[in-house]
Amino acid sequence: MVAHRHPEERRRGAPPPAHAHADWHRAPLDQLCRHIVDHHHERTRDLLTRAQHILGEMVAGYPDRPELGELKAMFEILEDDLVRHMLVEEMVLFPYVDRLVATAAGRPVEDAPPTHAEGSVNVARNDHENATVLLAGIRRLADQLAARGDEDMTRMLEALAQLEGDLDAHSGLEDNVLFPRLRELEELIEAAERPSRDTTGR
């Protein structure tokens, strides 16, 4: 089962795993899921923590600026949504992919996979779209505040830019590679499990 690692197990600057530069259009789907968790999910968690720390310092240092509280509230909505999204993928969708890959390889699985993951995939796609909208709103407000020449807000904008870049890559990998390939694998398994046609015509 794919699961995210405890923060203490992560090491900044550690060399990327051997599959970090794999061709994800061809690599096994369970390996792709592990890459998403180990690379994108962990980086997203790190970037969320960094941005939240910067915001906390700013709100504490400038209690007379309500717009900072508004920015922090918007960011917390984004953070909550992303954390939930990643947990659902790690606890539901990616273990399903593991079982599907095992089924396709003829390996025994503890629980038979459901018919398809269309519902979970649609939810994940919507999460990606909502995160994009939320992050755009946060960036607009942060840009307005940064126009005042606030050094802390410059740090915040840098953190947001990194988060935005990683989310674009993360969402694109899922929407354009993982989800279409997942559906193809489901269809392949469904076709293999259909009763053979009666070649005699009876």
Q: Return the HEC string of 177-196.
A: HHHHHHHHHHHHHHHHHCCC
**pTM of the complete model:** 0.81
Mean pLDDT of 39-52: 95
Question: What is the CA angle 188-176-83, rounded to 5?
Answer: 105
% of the chain with per-residue pLDDT over 70: 81
* Residue 112: per-residue pLDDT: 57
Q: Is the pLDDT of residue 173 over 90?
A: yes
The C-alpha atoms of residue 118 and residue 121 are separated, in whole angstroms, by 5
In the predicted structure, residue 162 carries a pLDDT above the cut 70: yes
pLDDT at position 36 over 70: yes
Please check whether residue 42 is in contact with residue 10, taking contact to mean a CB–CB distance below 8 angstroms: yes
- CA–CA distance, 74 with 72 (Å, rounded to integer): 5
Predicted confidence (pLDDT) per residue in 125-157, tens digit:
999 999 999 999 999 999 888 887 677 788 899
Is residue 116 predicted with pLDDT exceeding 90?
Answer: no
Instruction: Give the whole-angstrom CA distance, residue 165 versus residue 188.
Output: 34
- Is 114's pLDDT higher than 80? no
Cβ neighbours of 121 (radius 10 Å): 18
Count of positions (residues) in the chain: 202
Give the integer Cα–Cα distance in Å for 93 and 103. Answer: 15
Q: What is the pLDDT of residue 52?
A: 94
SS3 67: helix
Band the pLDDT of 16: cuts 50, 70, 90: very low
Q: What is the mean pLDDT of residues 186-197?
A: 73
Q: pLDDT value at position 97?
A: 93
